Chain A
Amino acid sequence: MCPDSVGTRGYKGEIMEFTEDQILRYSRHILLPEVGGEGQERLLNAKVVLVGAGGLGSPVGYYLAAAGVGTIGVIDNDRVEISNLQRQIAHNSSRIGVLKADSAKETYETLNHDVNVVTHKERLTSANIKNIIKDYDIVVDGSDNFPTRYLVNDACVMLKKTLISAAVFRFEGQLMSIYPGDGPCYRCLFEIPPPPGMVPSCQEAGILGAVTGVIGTLQATEVIKAILGIGEPLKGKLLLWNALDMSFRIVKVPKNRECPVCGEHPTIKDLIDYEHFCSMSH
């Protein structure tokens, strides 16, 4: 069993009573030897927060809601635009102009009434991130820019929050699970963000919509595994997927002893607000 499992075995140490609807809704989970009623209860008690309700956050939240993850936080201060709908499946044409956090809440809670979606309609900064993520078990990064990606990584390392981090670009995606104190963090892999102008933003680069679905669904699977404490997490491993040749590769990522945030002598002790250079940030 993965030692990093989260969730609890009921409020009083006893297995909960499922309602008739829950027995039917979660029956295909309960049938799995690795899940059962106990695992389903862990899912219902779990608290997961999504950074972004866009291309990645949409499918992650959808599958977590379907799985019965009891509390899903959604951090996003953007509004739904028609250009989002090619990939951001939590939203729809009738929600154009609506805040994405509100749109996602409506979608996920309609799918499953067991789920409570908590909206955080603000941009993450060094000033608010710790306060927002502190009450969650797992953080899911589906952000579309490097400043947020590094901010989320550093905050998760500092608060020792499990972070399931993913990114997509054109026809490719990557995924890594970060367990602070036990394996590498994002900065062990890429120590500092690329300089502004070096990398095109996703708005400039384009993205095949279904790619976000594949990577987001893999990301949701890693979250559910972490909650249940089953299987082998992508800890110290970076999964790379290319849609054009349908290749999956897993690259080992060693922990960097000199990592500025999780190394032996960290130099980053306060969170950093890097300059936003992605035009879609605003």
Chain B
Amino acid sequence: MTDDITINKTIDIRGQVCPYTFVRSKLAIEKMNVGEVLEIILDHKAAVENVPKSMENEGQKVLAVEQTSEKEWRIVVRKDKEKKKT
């Protein structure tokens, strides 16, 4: 259950496929402050695995991945980190 999580921003990227699912999710979370929560609504099955994996690679916290209907999912991510520096 993720009902008790405050969502700061939601993006609806239904119709988008990889890698643009992550590109758009990343652009959205870049604009948010650390600690804020992004909700991503999508319908591209491969992205349900790829977007959380990529978010974690960049240091963000995936709070939930839920199937909301036959072909739709929601991913909830908390921004834990600003852009990776080298």
Q: Contacts A33-B58, A36-B30 given: A27-B83 contact, CB under 8 Å?
A: no
Residues of chain A with a CB closer than 8 A to B19's CB = 27, 31
Which residue of A14, A24, A34, A37 is within 8 Å of B26 (Cβ)?
A: A37
Residues of chain B with a CB closer than 8 A to A15's CB = 30-31
**A18 sits at the interface (CB 8 A):** yes
**A244 sits at the interface (CB 8 A):** no
**Closest A-chain residue to B27, C-beta based?**
A37
Residues 63-80 of A, flagged 1 when their CB comes within 8 A of B and 0 if not, give 000000000000000000
**B44 sits at the interface (CB 8 A):** no
**A1 sits at the interface (CB 8 A):** yes
Decide: B84 and A33 in contact? CB cutoff 8 A.
yes
Decide: A27 and B86 in contact? CB cutoff 8 A.
no
Decide: A39 and B83 in contact? CB cutoff 8 A.
yes
Decide: B26 and A30 in contact? CB cutoff 8 A.
yes
Question: Considering the complex, which residues of chain A in the window 1-37 have a beta carbon less than 8 Å from any beta carbon of chain B?
Answer: 1, 14-15, 18, 23-24, 27, 30-31, 33-34, 36-37
Decide: A18 and B57 in contact? CB cutoff 8 A.
no
Which residue of B27, B58, B84, B86 is within 8 Å of A18 (Cβ)?
A: B27
Which residue of B23, B31, B83 is within 8 Å of A33 (Cβ)?
A: B83
Residues of chain B with a CB closer than 8 A to A230's CB = 85-86
**Closest B-chain residue to A41, C-beta based?**
B30
Decide: A38 and B22 in contact? CB cutoff 8 A.
no
**A231 sits at the interface (CB 8 A):** yes
- Bin the interface of chain B by size: 10 to 19
The total of Cβ contacts below 8 Å across the A-B interface reads: 43
| Assembly CA distance A33 to B85 (angstroms) | 8
**B61 sits at the interface (CB 8 A):** no
Decide: A38 and B30 in contact? CB cutoff 8 A.
yes
Residues of chain A with a CB closer than 8 A to B27's CB = 18, 23, 30, 36-37
Decide: A33 and B57 in contact? CB cutoff 8 A.
yes
| Assembly CA distance A24 to B27 (angstroms) | 12
Decide: B86 and A1 in contact? CB cutoff 8 A.
yes
Residues of chain B with a CB closer than 8 A to A18's CB = 27
| Assembly CA distance A38 to B57 (angstroms) | 17
Residues of chain B with a CB closer than 8 A to A23's CB = 20, 23-24, 27
Q: Shortest beta-carbon distance, A177 to chain B, in Å?
A: 16
| Assembly CA distance A150 to B86 (angstroms) | 33
Most buried by A among B20, B58, B86: B86
Decide: B26 and A36 in contact? CB cutoff 8 A.
yes
Q: Shortest beta-carbon distance, B52 to chain A, in Å?
A: 15
Contacts A14-B31, A27-B23, A30-B23 aside, 19 further interface pairs with beta carbons under 8 A come to A1-B86, A18-B27, A23-B20, A23-B27, A24-B20, A27-B19, A30-B27, A31-B22, A31-B23, A31-B26, A33-B83, A34-B83, A34-B85, A34-B86, A36-B27, A36-B30, A38-B30, A39-B83, A230-B85
Give the B-binding residues of A (Cβ under 8 A): 1, 14-15, 18, 23-24, 27, 30-31, 33-34, 36-39, 230-231
What are 16 A-B pairs with beta-carbon distances under 8 A?
A18-B27, A23-B20, A23-B27, A27-B19, A30-B27, A31-B22, A31-B23, A33-B83, A34-B84, A34-B85, A36-B27, A36-B30, A37-B31, A38-B30, A230-B85, A230-B86
List the 10 shortest-distance A-B pairs measured between CB atoms, nearest first.
A33-B84, A1-B85, A37-B27, A27-B23, A37-B30, A230-B86, A15-B31, A30-B23, A36-B83, A33-B58
